[in-house]
Amino acid sequence: MFKKNIILNSVKEFIFKRYNISFSKSGEDLVLAKILQKYKSGYFVDVGCWDPINYSNTYYFYLRGFQGICIDPNPRLVDEYRLIRPKDRFILSGVGMNLSKLNYYYIKKDSSLNTFNYDFIKENNLEDNIDMIVEVNLKPLSQILDEIILDDLPLLFFDIDVEGFDLDVLKSNNWTKYRPYIVMVESSNNLKDDLNSDISSFLQSQGYQLVSKTLTNRSLGNLIFLRTDFYDTLS
């Protein structure tokens, strides 16, 4: 069965790579690919990566040989990434401001909503959908990246989707050392609030500007921030 799954996955990879197929909810991967079209290699960091293919903003890049660092606290994903995306580095961890432990809530039927943020659960009326609560270790993003030996390739983008803990993840990075060209962060705010949000203010202070937002459902979508010197790097 395992060998059969490997063969089936190889066939899927061939088809997916041959055609310009988007795996994101709203074509975010193709938007990123357009911005980064000059680059044929490099790293991406996917925090809260969830499923290796479905609604993934990074599988498109995996198929084309980019180097992925995929981080998620859900142990159920370990085998899936080992089978489907063996060339990526899957890091089983939560991401936070410091070394600590925090309750991680598993949501019935929709694991994409798993979260550390109980306020998020209350806001979305998910209290009755909690399947399990597990205490999980947190590490700053900077420490996770420090522990990985990176080749001499450009750091292309961060994709962050952690259901309400996005700002904590951003603040846990070392922005002097790790400065991707693009930062993409999920948001459920309306665009006016996004422009004045703590996330926008923080990233502006780090030298990024909000250039786009995709939409998946009402105001839910992904904010795309571009490093202000990005186009200077292309010359």
Return the pLDDT at 14: 62
Report yes or no on 134 lying in a domain: no
* CB distance 97 to 140 below 8 Å: yes
In the predicted model, what is the mean pLDDT of residues 184-194? 94
Q: Round the average pLDDT of the chain to a whole number and report it.
A: 91
* CB distance 140 to 172 below 8 Å: yes
Q: Which residue has the higher pLDDT, 120 or 24?
A: 24
What does DSSP assign to residue 115? B
Under DSSP, is residue 100 helix (H, G, I), strand (E, B) or coil?
strand
Instruction: Identify which of 170, 169, 173, 106 has the alpha carbon closest to the alpha carbon of residue 136.
Output: 106
Report how many domains make up the chain. Answer: 1
Report yes or no on 130 lying in a domain: no
Report yes or no on 109 lying in a domain: no
* CB distance 59 to 130 below 8 Å: no
- How confident is the model over 9-34, as pLDDT tens digits? 666 666 666 667 999 999 999 999 99
- In the chain, the amino acid numbered 29 is D
**What tokens appear for 61 in the block?**
């890049």
Q: What torsion, rounded to 10 degrees, do the Cα atoms 61, 64, 65, 71 define?
A: 20
> What CATH code is carried by the domain that includes residue 217?
3.40.50.150
Give me the domain span that covers residue 35.
Answer: 2-96+146-233
Instruction: Identify which of 134, 127, 164 has the alpha carbon closest to the alpha carbon of residue 74.
Output: 134
What does DSSP assign to residue 154? -
Report yes or no on 171 lying in a domain: yes
